[in-house]
Homo-oligomer: A and B are copies of this chain.
Amino acid sequence: MATIRDVAKLAGVSTATVSRVLNEQGGVNSETKQKVLDAIKKLNYKPNTIAKNFRQNKTDTIIVVIPDITNTFFSKILLGMQDVANANGYNVLLCNTNNDVEKELEYIRFTERRGADGIIFLTARVNYTNILELTKTCPVVVACEYIDNLDIPTVSINNFKAAYEATEYLIKLGHKKIAYINGPKGIVLSRDRLRGYKAALERYGIEIDEKLIFEGDFYYESGYKHAKQILENGASAVFTASDDMAAGFIRYCIDNNIKVPKEVSVVGFDNIKLASIIKPELTTIAQPMYEIGSTAMDMLIKLIKGEEVEKRNIVLEHQLIVRESCMPYEKSYVKTLK
């Protein structure tokens, strides 16, 4: 494998000159430049990226820690991240944790060892003190979760408010027995959404019924699994912390000949593509996925470059997307029966 020295020798110049040509720094005589270019071609020389990175003490690589790569919600966010990263000359090293805290810690270690210039977490399972520790030695951004009090940069929607609005929407349709399938405990956004759900009920004087609150894991299967109990407990509407769970819930209804929204109304969360593919189309909270990704990456790159970041906790707008999966309680089947 040819090195810069081989090129220099063949071109009859110094390595410094070759380097200047390579990096298009100018200040090189055009004849000299041509000689160098010829030598590069002749030797089929490819600059060694590792050596360059080593010398410059940077990797041009950013780690993105993702809890589940098969979830299209995350892959949409990734799209925004990659565009911004590539536009700034960075590569994205995608790390899938499968919701495993140990893996998260592994990637934190990797970054500390300068395997990457910065790191973004899409939802963290790990104790925040670990991340806080990391911020001291390395640029970090957390996306999708809002963390106050701790000095960790974040980009997210207002999960509390979004869940509040989704619940309020169902309340205003006349529903009173509204079930909620939450994300896993121990994740900040689960906590926030649960609070939003409860706050809405309280605001409208509906008693909180713990028998209508379930802990899911965001997956389709967990929506399906809890459906039976939810229905048996008399809910006329369900709000879920992910579209996948909503889809699972609806599928249970289809399999058991229960009509959505005629017999149960359903609201999801995320507005992934699936939400508009299934029938009935899902009413859901839309997160600006691409924008979350691009904004988070933008912030991280500023942090890496040591630029000033005006706002360290960015909150983006969500939106309730009304489609076909809800119906006023008044018109619903259960009501009509009486």
Contact = CB atoms under 8 A, between A and B. Distances in A.
A96 B69 CA distance: 13
Interface in A245-298: 247, 251, 254, 273-274, 277-279
A224 to B, nearest CB: 10
B96 A93 contact: no
B96 A78 contact: yes
Nearest to A76: B70
Copies held by the complex: 2
A57 interface: yes
Interface residues of A, number: 41
A120 interface: no
A46 B113 contact: yes
A277 B279 contact: no
A101 interface: no
Interface in A41-93: 46-51, 53-54, 57, 59, 61, 69-70, 72, 75-76, 78-79, 82, 91-93
Interface of A: 1, 46-51, 53-54, 57, 59, 61, 69-70, 72, 75-76, 78-79, 82, 91-96, 110, 112-115, 137, 220, 247, 251, 254, 273-274, 277-279
Given A46-B112, A50-B114, 9 more contacts: A46-B114, A49-B114, A50-B53, A69-B79, A70-B75, A70-B76, A91-B95, A92-B93, A247-B277
